[in-house]
Chains A and B, each alone.
Chain A
Amino acid sequence: MRGLAGLFQALPGLAAASLAGTAIAAPAADAPVPERLTACVACHGAGTSASEGVPSLGGQQGDYVVTQLFQFREKQREAAPMNDIAAGFSDDDLRAYGEAIATLPAPEWSGPPADAALKERAQAAIAKHQCTSCHGADLAGRDAIPRIRAQREEYLARALSAYKSNARPGYDPAMNEVAQDLKDDEIRDLAAYIARL
């Protein structure tokens, strides 16, 4: 439920950005936000999201961004307001957003690091479920496999739960396959730890 609330919270920000026609979040001076991303960063931040339920996009794999925008456009993945936003995107738009978003700086965790007990539990879960096999040893992803390190904790937890229940069909079924074996406490630990990387 917290995740849903986060989505609705995101809506006013989007509307404000559209009305004002300017970015709400000012980018770092030496890493200007591409003009195309003005509306995106209003909710998602210029790399790191500060909005509950809204994922960070910085450093995301361009190919992955294309698959998700495609799924939003085709209503394969339902997540307001992204379905409406992507509805009018052309294939070229999808490619351009993928390339632009990949240039935003990767998200960073700014709080204290994971404590030793969480780290131990989460690393055991990462090993058991072989997260690194696809996402890479540093969990930064490759090709159409997303960067997940330092992603928002509640977003990671919701994504894993939705893969497990098949409420979120992956573009490729790999996450639906591996999530079947996830226990609730593993989801909690994985989200908490990966968010803090």
Chain B
Amino acid sequence: MTPAQSRGLAAALACLGLGALGPLPAAAQETKATAAPPPTVQADKGSALYGRPDGTGAAKLAPVAGPPLPTPAAKLPLDKLKVADGFKVELYASGLANARSMTQAPDGTLFVGTRTVGKVYAVLPQAGADGTHEVKTIASGLHRPNGVAFHDGALYVAELSKISRYDDILKHLDGGEQPQLVTDDLPKDEAHGWKFIAIGPDDKLYVPVGAPGNIQLPPDTHAQIRRMDLDGKNAEVIARGVRNSVGFDWNPTTKQLWFTDNGRDWVSEDIPNDELNVLTEPGKQHFGYPFCHQGTFTDPEYGWGHSCSEFTAPAALLGPHTASLGMRFYTGTQFPDAYKGAIFIAQHGSWNRTTKLGGDVLVAKLGPDGKVASTEPFLTGFLQDNKYAGRPVDVLVAKDGSLLVSDDYNGAIYRVSYAK
């Protein structure tokens, strides 16, 4: 045991100040005050942090995962959340640590994936006396099971590099069932490896494979969206140049795939924007990464020799670093007519920005031509004094036409409803 006599209160106090201020504790006086990098050394390109410039402003920014423990219901930020007149926000379910992507069975049972805690939850459809819904853990010990999709009685769960199917899931909500492997023919990179999945109107499974880092020339196997038969066979790439999509849905009118894409980091506080994209010609379109971002901005390193006109431009820009994740078309009838066919988009909120941006739910309304006519905030209040009180991950139009919103920071699901 190292003698403790030389430490004591002074050292403890110095230590407490370290996190915020960055001075050295007394013991390290022999070494130079900082591990600051010499400016000429660059990171390997596989690193998620590749591209960070030198300088104290940039050094203050880093992604920080939310807590592994859910916020108790009484401490949820419900009183801070804001919606337009006529709408209301209430708690749907709490206690789902790290609640991420959602899917719903026809009976109203909601399934929720996670990224950091290895669990998949089921939220029962019947509300309890307090109006909230009971949560069951149907699987645990999985590796970043972010993606869930319900189809024909089965639940498809996407882990980092593996997709499994839980048959007849509604009869097995107490867990313990062995799933069937759908495919594990997927890259194993941790960077942008967690997945949103969904099953399209063509009864095929859609699976994104993100770029394995911030900015790089990706291998042919990455920065794309694939689709495959429900048994994992006949996989094909349907969209390229997609850096990291964590949410998509099909336009109920055109049946075309719309998806969000997270723009690169470390170019600037203010560019590039995250994108909302439309796939009109499966297999033929390239959406720009790593050559062109936000449809207008050639990459400072990889853009040389290219023009943004070579690539499919986004349908809408969603703000810089806002982490635009889950999105769904509004197919319900509960909300006013203005919301019919509109797109709700969950924004997790930025980390790569000094003044945080995002951390809300947007609504993108389409014009008569089917193009995005406006984007505006719909549910706000998660961002308070440049700190997150919650972080939306996914949105889902519930069977009754209300909108469910998952929050992985608090481990909760909120319900937005409308009453005249």
Which A residues lie at the B interface, using CB under 8 A? Answer: 25-31, 45-48, 50, 58-59, 61, 63, 66-67, 70-71, 74-76, 91, 94-95, 103-106, 108-110, 112-114, 119, 122-124, 126-134, 136-145, 147, 149-150, 166, 169-174, 176-178, 180-181, 194, 196-197
Which B residues lie at the A interface, using CB under 8 A? Answer: 1-2, 4-9, 11-12, 14-16, 18-19, 22-25, 27-28, 30-38, 41-44, 46-49, 52, 58-59, 61-65, 67-70, 116-118, 140-141, 143-144, 188-191, 193-194, 213
Contacts of B213 in A (CB 8 A): 177
What residue of chain A has the Cβ atom nearest to residue B95's Cβ? Answer: A91
Given the known A-B contacts A177-B191, A180-B46, are A113 and B31 also in contact in the complex, defined by CB atoms under 8 Å? yes
Contact of A31 among B8, B69, B189, B191 (CB under 8 A): B8
Contacts of B44 in A (CB 8 A): 128-129, 181
Task: For the complex, give the distance between the alpha carbons of A113 and B1 in Å.
Answer: 19
Task: For the complex, give the distance between the alpha carbons of A119 and B248 in Å.
Answer: 48
Contacts of A122 in B (CB 8 A): 35
Contact of B46 among A130, A171, A181 (CB under 8 A): A181
A127 touches B41 (CB 8 A): yes
Contacts of B62 in A (CB 8 A): 133-134, 142, 145
B65 touches A144 (CB 8 A): yes
Q: How far is the CB of B60 from chain A (nearest CB, A)?
A: 9
Given the known A-B contacts A128-B44, A181-B44, are A106 and B49 also in contact in the complex, defined by CB atoms under 8 Å? no
Contact of A46 among B4, B37, B49, B188 (CB under 8 A): B4
A selection of 16 A-B contacts at a CB cut-off of 8 Å is A28-B8, A29-B8, A48-B1, A63-B67, A74-B117, A75-B141, A105-B15, A108-B7, A108-B25, A127-B38, A140-B19, A143-B64, A144-B67, A150-B28, A178-B48, A181-B43
B35 touches A133 (CB 8 A): no
Other than the given A66-B69, A137-B35, 11 more pairs (CB < 8 A) read A59-B16, A67-B65, A91-B69, A105-B7, A108-B11, A119-B31, A130-B47, A133-B59, A171-B68, A172-B63, A177-B213
B35 touches A123 (CB 8 A): yes
Give the most central of B18, B41, B49, B52: most A CB within 10 Å. B18
Contacts of B34 in A (CB 8 A): 132, 137-138
Contacts of B64 in A (CB 8 A): 142-145, 172
A70 touches B68 (CB 8 A): yes
Task: For the complex, give the distance between the alpha carbons of A145 and B65 in Å.
Answer: 9
What residue of chain A has the Cβ atom nearest to residue B50's Cβ? Answer: A130
Task: Identify the 3 closest CB pairs spanning chains A and B, nearest first.
Answer: A127-B37, A173-B190, A172-B65
B37 touches A132 (CB 8 A): yes
Q: How far is the CB of A97 from chain B (nearest CB, A)?
A: 12
B48 touches A105 (CB 8 A): no
Contacts of B11 in A (CB 8 A): 105-106, 108
A128 touches B43 (CB 8 A): yes
A76 touches B118 (CB 8 A): yes
Contact of A128 among B4, B28, B41, B188 (CB under 8 A): B41
B25 touches A47 (CB 8 A): no
Contact of A106 among B15, B38, B42 (CB under 8 A): B15
Given the known A-B contacts A105-B15, A127-B41, A149-B28, are A30 and B67 also in contact in the complex, defined by CB atoms under 8 Å? no
Contact of A105 among B12, B35, B43 (CB under 8 A): B12
Task: For the complex, give the distance between the alpha carbons of A181 and B2 in Å.
Answer: 34
What residue of chain B has the Cβ atom nearest to residue A172's Cβ? Answer: B65
B2 touches A124 (CB 8 A): no
B15 touches A67 (CB 8 A): no
Contacts of A171 in B (CB 8 A): 65, 68, 116
Task: For the complex, give the distance between the alpha carbons of A172 and B192 in Å.
Answer: 11
What residue of chain B has the Cβ atom nearest to residue A74's Cβ? Answer: B118
Task: For the complex, give the distance between the alpha carbons of A50 and B15 in Å.
Answer: 19
Task: For the complex, give the distance between the alpha carbons of A137 and B33 in Å.
Answer: 9
Task: For the complex, give the distance between the alpha carbons of A63 and B19 in Å.
Answer: 12
Task: For the complex, give the distance between the alpha carbons of A145 and B189 in Å.
Answer: 21
Task: For the complex, give the distance between the alpha carbons of A181 and B42 in Å.
Answer: 12
Task: For the complex, give the distance between the alpha carbons of A126 and B37 in Å.
Answer: 7
Q: How far is the CB of A182 from chain B (nearest CB, A)?
A: 9
Task: For the complex, give the distance between the alpha carbons of A131 and B52 in Å.
Answer: 11
B28 touches A50 (CB 8 A): no
Give the most central of B2, B14, B30, B32: most A CB within 10 Å. B2
Given the known A-B contacts A95-B69, A128-B43, are A114 and B31 also in contact in the complex, defined by CB atoms under 8 Å? yes
What residue of chain B has the Cβ atom nearest to residue A126's Cβ? Answer: B35
B118 touches A30 (CB 8 A): no
Contacts of A71 in B (CB 8 A): 68
Give the most central of A27, A105, A137, A166: most B CB within 10 Å. A105
Contacts of B63 in A (CB 8 A): 134, 172, 174
A173 touches B144 (CB 8 A): yes
Given the known A-B contacts A25-B1, A131-B35, are A31 and B24 also in contact in the complex, defined by CB atoms under 8 Å? no
What residue of chain A has the Cβ atom nearest to residue B58's Cβ? Answer: A133
Contacts of A143 in B (CB 8 A): 64
A138 touches B7 (CB 8 A): no
Task: For the complex, give the distance between the alpha carbons of A140 and B24 in Å.
Answer: 9
Given the known A-B contacts A172-B116, A177-B47, are A61 and B15 also in contact in the complex, defined by CB atoms under 8 Å? no
Task: For the complex, give the distance between the alpha carbons of A126 and B141 in Å.
Answer: 32
